[in-house]
């Protein structure tokens, strides 16, 4: 146990000590909040606290909410009942109502029957959007307050990002008023950059985010928002500005993937000046290209063209051939939509060699698909069929997720 | 509680300083009447009921969250029962979705509570009446004309239920309240069907009540009192520019709420007394009792020894003061609570964490000071930036305007209401006064 605490900053160690001490003091229900913005740090803290409490004979039951966190109290009760069943094969007197699947930590073993427990709750922030304080989960906590001592007769620690704790204080004041302690954990330099690295924002293109599904995107959005919160009060060094811009751009991508185009534009527009300020032309070009995509999705073709044309020279300057190919492909699509098929084909054909140079075979599938579709629109069924036939083969080779749709286009070409 | 069981160790202090309300008859209860403005709200409500020659009265009860409302209502219930009344007490939050509530939800919840309450009180209602009420709800809410068939359906639905739910009307009311509480779509449908029939709904509830009261009287009871607690937790929401959900409930439908033929006590948010429509509200409910804070100081910012002594007694009922506190620490904690018993408990809990490692008197001035500064910094989460200039005004004038921002401040315990003398007055919570932003707003103003 001591070797792990060595990784934590001294102020976090003493805060954690106070938390452990309070849990040790409390009998029955007592409510604690633990604001902590970075999942990595939170994981470390929970692990350390669990070990320290185990040494005091207190068993920690961890309940992680991975969805929008409704019916919190019922699900906590069910999780506790499940732990009972796991540790001592005891059926609770009142069977809990069927609940949604919920990640419950493996029932720990080796605790005495009737050992004191503490309940750690994580993930409630999934139900507390950054900008919509009137979240359902807050109302639920506030109004259901009185039933908590009955259903969760143990010390209850709620781990949340800082913004979400403030939302609880403002919008679930009755629940908040019952707190017996708030333990604020500070994000240190190393945890912050670890979290930043983990977000890996540049490697997450739109389609990957779209595939994430709604809950996945929501989770990512919350993580980015808490991370942004951590960057808010830092001095404006180049490093900080660059990373802040990256987070804003990442938020733009998540919003765009969820088709919240207005919000996406807002985030991208905040990222742009920061990227310009630190001279991150590659990042700036990516943001411009993404803005173009958002406007294209909104049907504003003129604006889309403007942004793509701003992105292109920057990508060429920094030698980002992959990005350049994407922008060329996107330009082709806008011209195709505008009915200028010559120009469209010209852009697609400029994109192809670049995609091959950088070995982006998924990108190649997309561009060739676009070319095949364009031929079909131009009434050149034979060329379309040949192009789409080759695209289908390539898509099969690389395992492209859009393969079924491309096949449909091929069938369409064959029917002409 | 005999002195020997008073908390002496930090662990015991931590656990007895629990911010959760006391049940009636708890020996730790301290009568705060004298320092809450010399008017005992419970006595006033009790007298209005017991002095009335009518079987029905309607009163409102309000106070800050956590100031002891539920504790006082438990006391009221006990006192009424001792005087021979049958009391049905329920927390609105358990029966209704307080997040989205309209008056008809409250009435249906009352119908259910009355029926199940009468069963608990061993009042048997005759079958004709129950069948009539059942048929009415079945027809209006579910458009079921065939009573027998519908009873069988319900029976199947509730076959796994608890024994109280064996009777058809209990099943039906449980189904309706359940759908009102959880189902967003079915909720709208039920409301739209009940709305045009409200007069009939009230008539049915009154039938249940009047028959019930008749039987209760034969058993020697004085009458029936319904206490609806926690209705004050309804989150404030604007419905349009002129009205709020609070106005819609208590003002637009106040007459319906008060039309039941028994004694009624409803809780309302304290902020309602500071809305522009307060005159209309008190027109409908002339009897509105407020439970103010315990007075810790005067409007002239001078300490109020009587109030501080009561706070000290609240602690003395739980803790061996001489053993646990340094005198200075105890005084500071009492004053800093703003006269709010739950905040006092929270502060004492916090102080346990910072207590010195020595006995006796582990909670010293340093521990108190650190507990207070932590509590203060937590307050900064509840106070939005734009409130500070307004708070300076309250601090200077010791008075709130009827305005939405002040309503929120009262609601979130940023501003507290006191009463010594006849007029209520207001002040900024001591912890909020410690915030840097408040102090700079004060020096700017």
Q: Do A26 and B14 touch (CB under 8 A)?
A: yes
Domain end residue (candidates: B237, B269, B291): B291
Within this chain, do residues B19 and B93 fall inside the same structural domain, yes or no? no
Within this chain, do residues B219 and B156 fall inside the same structural domain, yes or no? yes
B7 neighbors B319 (Cβ within 8 angstroms):
yes
* pLDDT of A393 over the 60 cut: yes
DSSP B96: S
Return the sign of the alpha-carbon dihedral for residues B379, B382, B387, B390: negative
Segment B117-131, tens digit of pLDDT: 998 888 888 889 999
Of A18, A27, A176, the CB nearest to B15: A27
pLDDT at B24: 65
Q: How far is B96 from chain A (nearest CA, A)?
A: 10
Range scoring the smallest mean pLDDT among A192-201, B3-12, B333-342 = A192-201
Q: Do A25 and B235 touch (CB under 8 A)?
A: no
Instruction: Output the CA angle B102-B103-B104, nearest 5 degrees.
Output: 95
Within this chain, do residues B173 and B69 fall inside the same structural domain, yes or no? yes
Give percent above pLDDT 70 in chain A: 84
For chain A, give me the number of helices (H) and strands (E)?
19, 6
Residues B245-250, mean pLDDT to the nearest whole number: 86
Structure-block tokens of residue A388: 């789409």
Please state, in angstroms and rounded to a whole number, the distance separating the CA atoms of residues A310 and A286: 10
Domain that holds residue B324: 1-37+294-437
Strand partners, A283: none
pLDDT at A2: 42
Give percent above pLDDT 70 in chain B: 94
Q: How far is A220 from chain B (nearest CA, A)?
A: 25
* pLDDT of A89 over the 80 cut: no
B413 CB near a chain A CB, below 8 Å? yes
Per the model's pLDDT, the better-predicted residue between A133 and A162 turns out to be: A162
Within this chain, do residues B287 and B300 fall inside the same structural domain, yes or no? no
Please state, in angstroms and rounded to a whole number, the distance separating the CA atoms of residues B374 and B288: 36
Return the sign of the alpha-carbon dihedral for residues B41, B46, B52, B57: positive
- Residue B279: pLDDT band with limits 50, 70, 90: confident
Backbone angles phi, psi at A35, to 5 degrees: -70, 125
Segment B360-405, tens digit of pLDDT: 999 999 999 999 999 998 988 889 888 999 999 999 999 887 777 8
Please state, in angstroms and rounded to a whole number, the distance separating the CA atoms of residues B327 and B318: 16
Whether B154 is in a domain gets the answer yes
Backbone angles phi, psi at A58, to 5 degrees: -105, 125
Q: Identify whether A29 is preceded by a cis peptide bond (ω within 30 of 0).
A: no
Domain end residue (candidates: B257, B291, B325): B291
pLDDT at B160: 52
**Residue at token pair 């010594």:** B420
* pLDDT of A90 over the 60 cut: no
Pairs of residues, one from chain A and one from chain B, whose beta carbons lie less than 8 Å apart: 74
pLDDT at A100: 38
Q: What is the ipTM metric for this complex?
A: 0.70
Within this chain, do residues B21 and B58 fall inside the same structural domain, yes or no? no
Q: Do B349 and A146 touch (CB under 8 A)?
A: no
Q: Where does A2-186 sit in CATH, by number?
A: 3.40.50
Of B15, B346, B411, the CB nearest to A26: B15
Segment B152-183, tens digit of pLDDT: 888 777 655 454 456 788 888 988 988 888 77
Q: Do A169 and B374 touch (CB under 8 A)?
A: no
Closest CA to A350 of A375, A335, A363, A332: A332
Domain end residue (candidates: B248, B266, B291): B291
Within this chain, do residues B194 and B248 fall inside the same structural domain, yes or no? yes
Q: Which residue of A has its CA nearest to B230?
A: A143
Q: Which residue of A has its CA nearest to B349?
A: A180
DSSP SS3 for A204: coil
Within this chain, do residues B81 and B183 fall inside the same structural domain, yes or no? yes
Chain B hits for A170, Cβ within 8 Å? 381-382, 384, 412
Q: Do B14 and A25 touch (CB under 8 A)?
A: yes
pLDDT at B37: 61
SS3 track for B228-246: EECHHHCCCCECCCCCEHH
* pLDDT of A104 over the 50 cut: no
Return the domain boundaries, chain A: 2-186, 189-279
Within this chain, do residues B217 and B307 fall inside the same structural domain, yes or no? no
Q: Which residue of A has its CA nearest to B382?
A: A170
Chain B hits for A181, Cβ within 8 Å? 349-350, 353
pLDDT at A105: 41
Report which secondary-structure segment, H or E, holds A182. strand A179-182
Structure-block tokens of residue A264: 């996406």
Whether B444 is in a domain gets the answer no
Closest CA to B346 of B19, B30, B69: B19
B429 CB near a chain A CB, below 8 Å? no
Angle between helices A381-398 and A361-377 (to 10 degrees): 160
């Amino acid at each position: 146990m001591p070797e792990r605490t060595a990784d934590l900053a001294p102020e976090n160690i003493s805060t954690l000590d106070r938390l452990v001490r309070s849990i040790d003091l409390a009998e029955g229900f007592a409510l604690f909040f633990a604001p902590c913005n970075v999942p990595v740090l939170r994981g470390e803290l929970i692990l350390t606290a669990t070990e320290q409490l185990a040494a005091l004979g207190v068993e920690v039951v961890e309940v992680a909410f991975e969805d929008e966190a409704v019916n919190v109290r019922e699900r906590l009760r069910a999780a506790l009942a499940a732990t009972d069943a796991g540790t001592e094969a005891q059926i609770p007197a009142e069977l809990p109502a069927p609940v949604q699947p919920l990640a419950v930590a493996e029932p720990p073993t080796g605790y005495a029957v009737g050992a004191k427990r503490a309940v750690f709750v994580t993930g409630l922030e999934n139900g507390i959007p950054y900008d919509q304080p009137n979240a359902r989960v807050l109302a639920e906590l506030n109004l259901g307050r009185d039933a908590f001592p009955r259903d969760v007769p143990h010390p209850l620690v709620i781990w949340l990002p800082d913004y979400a704790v403030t939302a609880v204080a403002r919008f679930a004041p009755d629940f908040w008023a019952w707190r017996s302690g708030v333990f604020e954990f500070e994000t240190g330099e190393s945890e912050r950059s670890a979290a930043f690295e983990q977000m890996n924002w540049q490697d997450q293109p739109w389609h990957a985010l779209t595939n994430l599904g709604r809950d996945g995107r929501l989770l990512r959005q919350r993580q980015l928002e808490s991370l942004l919160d951590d960057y808010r009060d830092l001095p404006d060094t180049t490093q900080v500005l660059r990373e802040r811009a990256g987070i804003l751009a990442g938020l733009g991508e998540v919003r765009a993937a969820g088709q919240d185009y207005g919000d996406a534009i807002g985030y991208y527009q905040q990222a742009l000046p920061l990227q310009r300020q630190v001279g991150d032309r590659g990042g700036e070009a990516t943001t411009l290209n993404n803005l173009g995509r958002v406007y294209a999705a909104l049907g504003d073709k003129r604006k889309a063209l403007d942004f793509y044309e701003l992105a292109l020279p920057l990508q060429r300057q920094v030698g980002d051939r992959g990005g350049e190919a994407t922008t060329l492909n996107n330009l082709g699509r806008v011209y195709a939509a505008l009915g200028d098929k010559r120009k469209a084909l010209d852009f697609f054909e400029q994109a192809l060699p670049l995609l091959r140079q950088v070995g982006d075979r998924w990108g190649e599938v997309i561009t060739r698909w676009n070319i095949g579709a364009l031929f079909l629109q131009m009434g050149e069924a034979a060329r379309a069929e040949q192009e789409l036939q080759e695209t289908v083969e390539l898509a099969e080779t690389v395992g492209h997720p859009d393969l079924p749709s491309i096949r449909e286009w091929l069938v369409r070409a064959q029917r002409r | 509680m005999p002195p020997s069981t008073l908390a002496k160790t930090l662990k015991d202090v931590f656990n007895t300083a629990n911010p959760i309300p006391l049940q009636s008859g708890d020996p730790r209860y301290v009568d705060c009447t004298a320092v809450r403005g010399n008017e005992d709200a419970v006595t006033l409500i009790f007298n209005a009921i017991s002095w009335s020659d009518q079987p029905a009265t309607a009163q409102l009860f309000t106070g800050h969250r956590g100031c002891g409302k539920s504790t006082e209502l438990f006391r009221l219930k006990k006192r009424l029962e001792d005087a021979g009344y049958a009391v049905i007490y329920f927390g609105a939050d358990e029966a209704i979705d307080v997040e989205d509530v309209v008056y008809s939800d409250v009435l249906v919840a009352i119908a259910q509570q009355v029926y199940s309450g009468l069963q608990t009180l061993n009042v048997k209602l005759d079958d004709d009446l129950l069948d009539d009420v059942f048929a009415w709800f079945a027809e209006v809410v579910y458009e079921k004309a065939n009573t027998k068939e519908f009873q069988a359906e319900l029976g199947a639905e509730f076959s796994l239920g608890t024994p109280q739910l064996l009777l058809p009307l209990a099943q039906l009311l449980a189904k309706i309240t359940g759908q009102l509480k959880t189902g967003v779509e079915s909720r709208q449908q039920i409301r739209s069907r009940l709305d045009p029939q409200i007069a009939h709904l009230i008539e049915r509830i009154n039938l249940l009540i009047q028959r019930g009261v008749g039987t209760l009287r034969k058993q020697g009871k004085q009458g029936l009192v319904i206490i609806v607690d926690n209705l004050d937790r309804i989150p404030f929401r604007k419905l349009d520019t002129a009205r709020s959900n609070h106005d819609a409930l208590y003002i637009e439908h106040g007459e319906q709420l008060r039309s039941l033929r028994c004694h009624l006590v409803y809780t309302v948010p304290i902020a309602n007394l500071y809305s522009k429509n307060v005159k209309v509200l008190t027109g409908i409910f002339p009897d509105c009792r407020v439970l103010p804070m315990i007075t810790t100081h005067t409007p002239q910012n001078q300490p109020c020894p009587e109030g501080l002594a009561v706070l000290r007694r609240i602690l003395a009922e739980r803790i061996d003061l001489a053993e646990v506190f340094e005198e200075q620490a105890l005084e500071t904690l009492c004053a800093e609570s703003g006269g709010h018993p739950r905040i006092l408990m929270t502060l004492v809990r916090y102080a346990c964490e910072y207590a010195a490692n020595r006995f006796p008197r582990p909670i010293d001035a340093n521990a108190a000071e650190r507990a207070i500064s932590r509590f203060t910094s937590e307050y900064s989460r509840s106070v939005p930036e734009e409130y500070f200039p307004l708070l300076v005004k309250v601090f200077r004038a010791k008075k709130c305007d009827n305005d939405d921002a002040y309503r929120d401040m009262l609601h979130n315990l940023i501003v507290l209401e006191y009463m010594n003398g006849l007029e209520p007055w207001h002040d900024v919570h001591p912890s909020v006064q410690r915030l840097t932003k408040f102090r700079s707003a004060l020096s700017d103003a």
